[in-house]
Amino acid sequence: MNFIMKTSEFYSIIKYNNGKMVDNPDDIAVEYSLDVYVNGQKFVRLLCTPKSLKSLCLGFLRSEGIIESDGDVESFHFDEEECSAFIETRKDDKIFGIEEKKLNVVGTSKGMVSEDIYGKNFKQTENEADNIARDVDFKKLLETVERFGQMSELFKNTGCAHSCGAGSVGNIEVFEDDIGRHNALDKVVGSCMLRGIDTSKVILFLSGRVSSEMLLKALGGGFRAVVSRSAPTNAAVDIARKNGIFLCGFAREDKINIYSGFPS
């Protein structure tokens, strides 16, 4: 049984298009937080798109070695109000190895994040996002993103890499790539630390989508500005607005979407 919920929501944003700023509604993917209970134990929190949730839960449990087939499942119940799925198996916990596992939060690409993605407190700077946006030359920013997009030799050679960089408009100071987008971001945070770069003063460039765990990881690394060639989720936009982060997505060619930190 699959449950039908909204998979996207409209947000009011500002779109930069060939030198002009335009108010624009944007349809943003919903990032859904699903708690999965197995045999009465809270086992995992999955950050996902809210569709095909039974398939997601059973597929995750099989890939983790908890079940071998749907025949191992005695019952499945989904509580939309609690954002939770309750699964009972036909075998005891010990056989399935649940006793040995701790509660994990698994993001949209296996990213491990805080269980309460909205409750984490970060040092907030009043109007910091707006201040950053006010000083940005968006034409030059797009030129910088274009150069950033060409920097990964691993991606050129294999088509199998995520890129992450840190720098200013016109200058990428640190660049890393990896088959895992979380790994690429962690590499940049570490490189900035080793090189004495103040991450609160530079822009974080990303090649892939910005989900909540990626934005929280960026916040934890001290970044106040995030620009991606791809899209953010609604949870990432909410967190950016709450924490005063300058967040842009779809930075390609002559266009860029500004989700948080609107220029005056």
pLDDT tens digits, one per residue of 135-169? 789 999 999 999 999 999 989 988 988 999 999 99
In a domain, 235, yes or no: yes
**Alpha helices (H) along the chain:** 53-63, 93-96, 128-134, 138-148, 153-158, 181-195, 212-220, 234-243
Among 77, 106, 135, which residue terminates a domain? Answer: 106
Does 72 share its domain with 197? no
Q: Are residues 102 and 163 in the same domain?
A: no
* Range with the largest mean pLDDT of 68-77, 101-110, 198-207: 198-207
Does residue 157 lie within any of the structural domains?
yes
pLDDT exceeds 90 at position 11: yes
Q: Environment class of residue 176 by beta-carbon count within 10 Å: exposed (0-12), middle (13-18) or buried (19+)?
A: buried
Does any domain span residue 48?
yes
Does some domain include residue 47? yes
User: Does residue 153 fall inside a structural domain?
Assistant: yes
Q: What is the mean pLDDT of residues 228-234?
A: 96
Q: What is the CATH number of the domain that holds 194?
A: 3.40.140.10
112 lies in some domain: no
Dihedral sign computed on CA atoms, order 183, 209, 245, 154: positive
Over 9-77, what HEC string results?
Answer: EEEEEEEEECCEEEEEEEEEECCEEEEEEECCEEEEEEEECCCCHHHHHHHHHHHCCCCCCHHHEEEEE
pLDDT at residue number 112? 42
Residue 6 clears pLDDT 60, i.e. is over it: yes
Summarize the confidence of residues 28-33 as an average pLDDT: 92
Q: What is the pLDDT of residue 47?
A: 87
Could you tell me if 78 and 186 lie in one domain?
no
Residues 67, 192, single domain; the answer is no
Indicate whether 72 and 132 sit together in one domain: no
Q: Is 131 in the same domain as 150?
A: yes
In sequence order, the 6+-apart residues with CB closer than 8 A to the CB of 155 are 161, 163, 177, 207
Residue 109 confidence (pLDDT): 47
Asked if the structure places residue 70 within a domain, the reply is: yes
Of 106, 130, 158, the position where a domain reaches its end is: 106
Whole-number pLDDT of residue 115: 43
CB-count burial class (<10 Å; 0-12, 13-18, 19+) for 159:
exposed
Q: How sure is the predictor about 111, in pLDDT bands with cuts at 50, 70 and 90?
A: very low
Predicted confidence (pLDDT) at residue 99 exceeds the cutoff of 90:
no
Q: What is the mean pLDDT of residues 72-94?
A: 88
The two three-digit tokens of residue 61, written as one number:
């449990």
Please tell me whether residues 23 and 36 are part of one structural domain. no
Choose from 114-118, 132-136, 228-232 the range with maximum mean pLDDT. Answer: 228-232
Residue 116 pLDDT > 80: no
Are residues 18 and 55 both part of a single domain? no
Q: Which domain holds residue 60?
A: 32-106
Same-domain status, 134 and 228: yes
For the stretch 48-82, pLDDT in tens is: 889 889 988 998 888 788 888 888 999 999 999 99
CB 223 within 8 A of CB 247: no
Count of the separate structural domains present in the chain = 2
